């Protein structure tokens, strides 16, 4: 990150950090790590599989109430939302959010294990760390009597992972009464304190399906095989010359179909993930995917009887818009000033997070780790170590207060 920090931003952070109430909030964060890790262990034990985040959202709504936040509610999509009233309430607001959902299916055994500062469980870090930080910030501000200049909206949102397609954030920015008032949005996702995601990685995902009459591998051998035809389309796509600038990638994540080794499949499907920092590249890739599949099917049907022909569909199952936080925004300048004040050397990254939605709408947003360290992300061996969490939480609090100030 550039070392240049506007004097006004650095002065603002220094002034904030010198306030007695901010020191009291920092003190609470330092002295109550056992409470924070206890919350984290408890929330991780509440399963939140894709499209099944309801119980965890209800748990969060209750905790928001316990912490004295106002207007606590579950919105129609399932987000847990609460408000910390500002000195000038009802005007602009700053959003602090963390996603509730995990990648793990409903039958996953969670069983969180806590050993000192080490929490082991599916979802312990992603996004147990971010969700615990959400509660910690609210608790520290309440303890210190910190009232921000503008309203601060806390959200435990659904639908960040996989085919959730950012539906929680989409709903907030399409339907919430706050959507036109958001001055800045800070997303908490995972561990760490030295990374800031300021550029949203765009992605589009497709479900490709090819169907045919199927048949016996011997007696109906002349009929087209959907698996073979799909393979030809994938081979063509794999030969595409994708640019490195702007970086663009494509991945075939799953292929499914068929019933037996001696049966021509009646149906085969593939899920394809395309990613780029440039939406024009994603549009180009979408055209190439359609062309590759259509040509492969046309070639397979060329000399077959109509009743033996193949059909195909391509369904869009995910669309995450790209975007970027300008270095000239107050949010970016505040981040640089906070990191300088805390002697943090931050690495700027590109990723796909809940911040994609506000960034694509022109709302200043970024995604931060919530302190500590973690590993085994998206595996049953996932873990989170709370050592060093305090610095990450101080960073989040200072940045929020700076964004609320101006």
- pTM of the complete model: 0.91
pLDDT in tens, 150-203: 999 999 999 999 889 999 999 999 999 999 999 999 999 999 999 999 999 999
pLDDT value at 373 more than 50? yes
pLDDT in tens, 24-35: 999 999 999 999
pLDDT of residue 392: 98
pLDDT of residue 2: 45
How much is the average pLDDT of 372-386? 98
User: What CATH homologous superfamily does 7-200+322-405 map to?
Assistant: Zn peptidases (3.40.630.10)
5 pLDDT tier (thresholds 50, 70, 90): low
138 pLDDT tier (thresholds 50, 70, 90): very high
pLDDT value at 259 more than 60? yes
Q: What is the mean pLDDT of the chain?
A: 95
pLDDT value at 4 more than 70? no
90 pLDDT tier (thresholds 50, 70, 90): confident
How much is the average pLDDT of 317-328? 93
How much is the average pLDDT of 258-264? 96
pLDDT value at 1 more than 60? no
The full set of domain ranges for the chain reads 7-200+322-405, 202-320
How much is the average pLDDT of 271-277? 95
pLDDT of residue 89: 87
Does the domain at residues 202-320 carry the CATH identifier 1.10.1300.10? no
Q: Do domains 7-200+322-405 and 202-320 have the same CATH topology?
A: no
pLDDT in tens, 212-253: 999 999 999 999 999 999 999 999 999 999 999 999 999 999
* 133-136 long-range Cβ contacts below 8 angstroms, 24+ apart: 133/36, 133/98, 133/188, 133/370, 133/371, 133/389, 133/392, 133/393, 133/396, 134/96, 134/97, 134/98, 134/188, 135/36, 135/39, 135/63, 135/67, 136/29, 136/32, 136/36, 136/39, 136/393
């Amino acid at each position: 990150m550039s070392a240049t920090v506007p004097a006004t931003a650095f002065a603002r952070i220094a002034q904030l950090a010198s306030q007695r109430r901010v020191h009291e909030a920092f003190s609470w964060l330092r002295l109550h790590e056992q409470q924070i890790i206890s919350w984290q262990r408890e929330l991780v034990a509440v399963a939140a599989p894709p499209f099944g985040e309801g119980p965890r959202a209800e748990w969060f709504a209750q905790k928001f109430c316990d912490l004295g936040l106002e207007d606590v509610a579950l919105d129609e999509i399932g987000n847990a939302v609460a408000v910390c009233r500002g000195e000038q309430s009802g005007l602009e607001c700053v959003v602090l959010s963390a996603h509730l959902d995990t990648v793990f299916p409903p039958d996953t055994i969670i069983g969180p294990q806590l050993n000192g500062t080490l929490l082991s469980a599916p979802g312990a870090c992603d996004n147990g760390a971010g969700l615990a930080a959400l509660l910690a910030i609210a608790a520290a501000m309440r303890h210190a009597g910190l009232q921000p200049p503008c309203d601060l909206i806390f959200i435990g949102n659904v639908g960040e992972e996989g085919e959730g397609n950012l539906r929680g954030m989409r709903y907030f920015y399409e339907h919430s009464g706050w959507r036109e008032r958001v001055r800045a949005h800070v997303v908490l996702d995972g561990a760490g304190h030295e990374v800031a995601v300021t550029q949203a990685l765009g992605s589009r995902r497709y479900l490709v399906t090819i169907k045919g009459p199927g048949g016996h591998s011997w007696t109906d051998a002349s009929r087209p095989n959907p698996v073979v035809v799909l393979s030809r389309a994938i081979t063509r796509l794999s030969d595409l010359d994708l640019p490195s600038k702007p970086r663009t990638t494509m991945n075939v994540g799953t292929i499914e179909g068929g019933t037996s080794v001696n049966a021509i499949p009646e149906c085969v499907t593939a899920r394809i993930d395309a990613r780029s920092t440039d939406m024009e590249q994603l549009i180009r890739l979408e055209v190439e995917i359609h062309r590759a599949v259509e040509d492969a099917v046309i070639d397979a049907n060329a000399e077959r009887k109509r009743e033996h022909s193949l059909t195909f569909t391509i369904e869009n199952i995910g669309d995450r818009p790209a975007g970027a936080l300008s270095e000239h925004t107050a949010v970016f300048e505040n981040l640089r000033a906070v990191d300088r004040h805390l002697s943090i050397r931050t690495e700027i990254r590109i990723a796909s997070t809940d911040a994609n939605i506000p960034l694509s709408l022109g709302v200043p947003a970024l995604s931060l780790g919530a302190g500590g360290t973690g590993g085994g992300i998206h595996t049953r061996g996932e873990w989170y170590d709370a050592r060093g969490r305090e610095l990450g939480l101080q960073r989040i609090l200072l940045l929020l207060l700076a964004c609320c100030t101006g």
